[in-house]
Structure 1
């Protein structure tokens, strides 16, 4: 657990957590904690049992805002994409008048990225800290969306150039990840809409228009993932069309080969019959002549097929 006093974006480490119980003359306190620290934090800051239970739960939490007497409990999901799987990490936030507590189970890049922004913007209030944090979390969805878009383009190119069975597993896996994430985006969008429209006493009224901008971005993200879902459907159709085209191509080659060998089989069938007299059977060099005829016949049919683009 790290305790910082933030004043105009400048951080000062605090050793004694009891100092955070009293509002600072200027600025606010940011407590960056793990779930194990809740045993210490809960009695000091009067955290509600249900909020603590949500932080400790192993189950995935939906983004939400819960309002208690002296603090807000906010859950928002951070996102990460490693080209194979999308990961969501719950970011639990307790917002008070003179403090903000962030609780995570894993270290999040968003919290590291936030520090220079707080310094640049000279942030002096916990609600403005909350705004910048939510803004970074939402912006990361755009970055993940761009990577998903690139992944879809690469899959499409690979399928058109060289279709493989493994492509179907990639399509199904990525489509499942997109559908799953789309279900999460709904509650997250509702959370941001609440921060934007609802009258919240711990959030400055001047932040409403800023949260409105974040809400517009959240709507764009949701629309983007609708598009990705449709693209994955088109990608699966392209895969199936490519497989069908390859099967038709193979069948055309086999059909042409069968057609070429039919007259050759007919000739060998005649000369393979068990009769005493067959024309040319006893002609000197007859077998060589017959093989030549068969080669000329096969090559001639192959040339005809090539000219007609059947092969």
Structure 2
């Protein structure tokens, strides 16, 4: 995916102006100039190149009508190319509109025994701890698979390398198998993303236990929102695979449905992983609140011990700090109920010793109660 940071949101579809007719095509803001890649193969034959113009791409396809072609167009920055695609390939303008408004949920549409498939490619940002998702639109034909995407970089290089080296059976299979292989590679990348999210959640769990803070809570809530977004992608992927498996044999032959069934199993596993991670993140919120509460209780215990020690000392100091005179300064009369200790020669050290003994007695009492065991 492109190195620039893309802030994606469902509100991006609002770039289209209200009131436009259905099938209205436009160039999205910040769209890349289109690049044209073509892979042509059949058994031992293989050719790959990046073409400079759309006309050269069509010419190359026409020169090898018996081969399977993977047409990969990256970038939506040329409206004339988008218009031309709807004419040269059986692409409805409404479908091309879904391609350009590239925050569509994963889905599949069948028309004239051909498929229009939308899936979402994922990548985990270790720097920002966020998911970057890019739409991949795919059209199948009798001898081609057409993919369109907004970015120059994607997750499909492992499949391209397999085709280049001749590993696997992609070259010997029909174009519908290539469509499956593309979908399968995209789904395979979901699992490393989930592994990265799982490792990050474990880091957050350790942080919550060791040094919980408001920043930690914000990080936990942020990763929970990313998991919600991922779940909104995974569930339509499962529905898409279910719909493909229900299609007639003349659209998806039975010998290919076994592969799509495997991809369906991957989506089920992915949803289970997402649900497990969501439960872990939800428990992290509870753990954070419990840890903060426990720390607050420890602080209150310390303050209680300190208060318990100083309250009787404050009482004694306050009692003997009252400024009542023992005798009348005018008549010299000694008051019976005044404090006789004020004029004892050892009253001060005795009182200090009494305070120390009182503190030691309290500390011994607190220790016997077990208040110091968790410090």
Query: Which of the residues 59, 66, 74 maps onto 2:117?
Result: 74
Determine the structure 2 residue equivalent to 1:293. 354
Does the Cα contact within 8 Å between 1:5 and 1:13 map onto a contact in 2?
A: no
Determine the structure 2 residue equivalent to 1:94. 139
Distance 1:111 1:200, change over 3 A: farther
For 1:56-82, what per-residue CA distance to the aligned partner results, in whole angstroms no more than 9, with x for missing partners? 115x20111122337421101111222
Does the Cα contact within 8 Å between 1:21 and 1:45 map onto a contact in 2?
A: no
Pair 1:123 & 2:154 matched: no
Distance 1:109 1:285, change over 3 A: farther
Determine the structure 2 residue equivalent to 1:136. 185
Whole-angstrom CA distance in 1 between matches of 2:152 and 2:357? 75
Structure 1: any 5+ residue segments left out of the alignment? none
How many correspondences in the alignment? 310
Whole-angstrom CA distance in 2 between matches of 1:190 and 1:304? 67
Determine the structure 2 residue equivalent to 1:238. 287
Whole-angstrom CA distance in 2 between matches of 1:12 and 1:202? 28
Does the Cα contact within 8 Å between 1:85 and 1:177 map onto a contact in 2?
A: yes
Determine the structure 2 residue equivalent to 1:184. 233
Pair 1:29 & 2:66 matched: no
Whole-angstrom CA distance in 2 between matches of 1:113 and 1:201? 29
Pair 1:217 & 2:266 matched: yes
Does the Cα contact within 8 Å between 1:35 and 1:55 map onto a contact in 2?
A: no
Structure 2: any 5+ residue segments left out of the alignment? 1-35, 327-338
For 1:103-128, what per-residue CA distance to the aligned partner results, in whole angstroms no more than 9, with x for missing partners? 11123432222112223124223222
Distance 1:22 1:199, change over 3 A: farther
Determine the structure 2 residue equivalent to 1:6. 41
Comparing 276-285 with 257-266, which one deviates more in the overlay? Answer: 276-285
Determine the structure 1 residue equivalent to 2:332. none
Does the Cα contact within 8 Å between 2:38 and 2:70 map onto a contact in 1?
A: yes
Q: Specify the SS of the correspondent of 1:109.
A: coil
1:14 CA drift (Å): 6.8
Distance 1:40 1:111, change over 3 A: farther
- When Rg is computed on C-alpha atoms for both structures, the one with the higher figure is 2
Does the Cα contact within 8 Å between 1:96 and 1:202 map onto a contact in 2?
A: no
Comparing 213-222 with 62-71, which one deviates more in the overlay? Answer: 62-71
The structure carrying a bigger helix percent of its residues is 1
Does the Cα contact within 8 Å between 2:61 and 2:69 map onto a contact in 1?
A: no
Distance 1:32 1:279, change over 3 A: farther
Does the Cα contact within 8 Å between 1:21 and 1:44 map onto a contact in 2?
A: no
Does the Cα contact within 8 Å between 1:65 and 1:73 map onto a contact in 2?
A: yes
Distance 1:191 1:152, change over 3 A: same
Q: Specify the SS of the correspondent of 1:243.
A: helix
After TM superposition, the score normalised by the length of structure 1 is: 0.90
Alignment root-mean-square deviation, CA: 2.3
Does the Cα contact within 8 Å between 1:65 and 1:191 map onto a contact in 2?
A: yes
1:200 CA drift (Å): 5.5
1:159 CA drift (Å): 1.2
Pair 1:19 & 2:62 matched: no
For 1:194-232, what per-residue CA distance to the aligned partner results, in whole angstroms no more than 9, with x for missing partners? 223312645443111111111011111112212222222
Whole-angstrom CA distance in 1 between matches of 2:98 and 2:360? 77
Determine the structure 2 residue equivalent to 1:172. 221
Determine the structure 2 residue equivalent to 1:49. 93
For 1:284-303, what per-residue CA distance to the aligned partner results, in whole angstroms no more than 9, with x for missing partners? 46434433432342244224
For 1:259-288, what per-residue CA distance to the aligned partner results, in whole angstroms no more than 9, with x for missing partners? 110110011011110122434323446434
Distance 1:69 1:131, change over 3 A: same
